[in-house]
């Protein structure tokens, strides 16, 4: 399945979709129905694009993905500034319940030991149609072949990989050919939210586009650099660079 060529924005040379959540779900649904090729999907927020600004390997990996979706107010502001506004904030935490309600066969890979399992239990309790076919924590190394075999044995429609950025994208890229599922998505810390280990911001705060502020309140030391330093730095880079390719010879997929 090819990317939509007419619904994309570019920041620092990183291309991402400007479509909405419904379009993203349609892409996933068609990919699963067709089951003719494997699809690598990712989300990008301001922190991701800050990393890609300096990390060429990560930038190349994002541009090799079949779909990249915009996550957060920072990306929305940047896309509007360069004249290609996004339709909607498309993030994994909002997408996950919608995937569960469509009864896709989902495998959860990542998180601390026990977190993916707890996320599975919470998802099944909250969404009766949820079909979580397997879980595996992200703390493995030499057992990689066994983990891939475990995933493939469950024949998932969707593999959600939560290792954090950019580790999860590199892992998907490196193991893509061995994974037998139509859709693989990097989801960051999704399982922490689904399991209840980390509480999500109240809806009213999310509606004001201030979920990042709530996350900073929850983990001020760990997230200080990402938000207090990283957000202004990102917006400054956008004002200076616009959609100019940060890596001049970077192939744009």
Per the CB < 8 A criterion, the answer to whether 76 and 235 are in contact is no
**Is residue 252 scored above 70 in pLDDT?**
no
Separation between Cα atoms, residue 252 and residue 208, nearest integer Å: 33
> Which positions ≥6 away from 239 have C-beta within 8 Å?
81
Query: Given pLDDT bands bounded at 50, 70 and 90, which one contains residue 4?
Result: very low
Question: Euclidean distance between the first and final Cα of the chain, in Å?
Answer: 13
> What sign has the CA pseudo-torsion 90, 92, 97, 100?
positive
Please compute the mean of the pLDDT values over residues 151-177 and round it to a whole number.
Answer: 97
Per the prediction, the chain carries an average pLDDT of 92
User: How many angstroms from the chain centroid is the CA of residue 157?
Assistant: 17
Separation between Cα atoms, residue 145 and residue 97, nearest integer Å: 30
Report the pLDDT value the prediction gives residue 228, as an integer from 0 to 100: 93
In the chain, the domains with their CATH numbers are 8-194 (3.40.50)
More confident residue, 45 or 215: 45
**Is residue 11 scored above 60 in pLDDT?**
yes
Report the pLDDT value the prediction gives residue 113, as an integer from 0 to 100: 95
Q: How far is CA 93 from CA 97, 199, 211, in A?
A: 8, 12, 12
> What sign has the CA pseudo-torsion 212, 219, 169, 97?
negative
Query: Given pLDDT bands bounded at 50, 70 and 90, which one contains residue 56?
Result: very high
Query: Given pLDDT bands bounded at 50, 70 and 90, which one contains residue 253?
Result: very low
**Is residue 6 scored above 70 in pLDDT?**
no
Separation between Cα atoms, residue 96 and residue 191, nearest integer Å: 10
Kindly report, residue by residue over 13-24, the tens digit of the pLDDT.
999 999 999 999
Query: Given pLDDT bands bounded at 50, 70 and 90, which one contains residue 203?
Result: confident
What does pTM read for this prediction?
0.92
Report the pLDDT value the prediction gives residue 204, as an integer from 0 to 100: 85
State percent of the chain over pLDDT 90. 76
More confident residue, 9 or 210: 9
Report the pLDDT value the prediction gives residue 251, as an integer from 0 to 100: 60
Query: Given pLDDT bands bounded at 50, 70 and 90, which one contains residue 167?
Result: very high
Kindly report, residue by residue over 62-118, the tens digit of the pLDDT.
999 999 999 999 999 999 999 999 999 999 999 999 999 998 999 999 999 999 999
Kindly report, residue by residue over 118-153, the tens digit of the pLDDT.
999 999 999 999 999 999 999 988 788 999 999 999
206 cis-preceded (ω within 30 degrees of 0): no
């Amino acid at each position: 399945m090819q990317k939509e060529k007419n619904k994309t924005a570019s920041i620092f040379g990183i291309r991402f979709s400007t479509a909405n959540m419904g379009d993203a779900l349609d892409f996933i649904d068609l990919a699963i129905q067709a089951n003719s090729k494997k699809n690598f999907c990712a989300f990008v927020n301001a922190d991701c694009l800050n990393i890609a600004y300096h990390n060429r390997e990560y930038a190349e990996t994002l541009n090799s993905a079949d779909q990249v979706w915009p996550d957060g107010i920072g990306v929305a502001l940047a896309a509007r500034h360069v004249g290609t506004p996004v339709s909607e904030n498309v993030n994994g935490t909002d997408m996950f319940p919608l995937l569960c309600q469509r009864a896709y066969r989902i495998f959860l890979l990542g998180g601390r030991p026990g977190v993916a399992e707890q996320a599975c239990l919470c998802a099944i309790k909250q969404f009766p149609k949820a079909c979580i076919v397997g879980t595996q924590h992200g703390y493995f190394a030499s057992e990689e072949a066994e983990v891939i075999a475990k995933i493939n044995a469950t024949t998932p429609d969707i593999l959600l990989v939560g290792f954090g950025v950019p580790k999860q994208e590199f892992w998907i890229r490196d193991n893509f050919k061995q994974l037998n599922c139509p859709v693989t998505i990097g989801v960051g810390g999704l399982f922490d939210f689904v399991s209840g280990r980390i509480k999500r911001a109240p809806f009213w705060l999310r509606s004001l586009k201030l979920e990042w502020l709530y996350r900073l309140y929850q983990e001020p030391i760990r997230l200080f650099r990402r938000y207090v330093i990283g957000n202004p730095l990102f917006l400054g880079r956008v004002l200076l660079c616009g959609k100019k390719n940060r890596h001049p010879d970077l192939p744009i997929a």
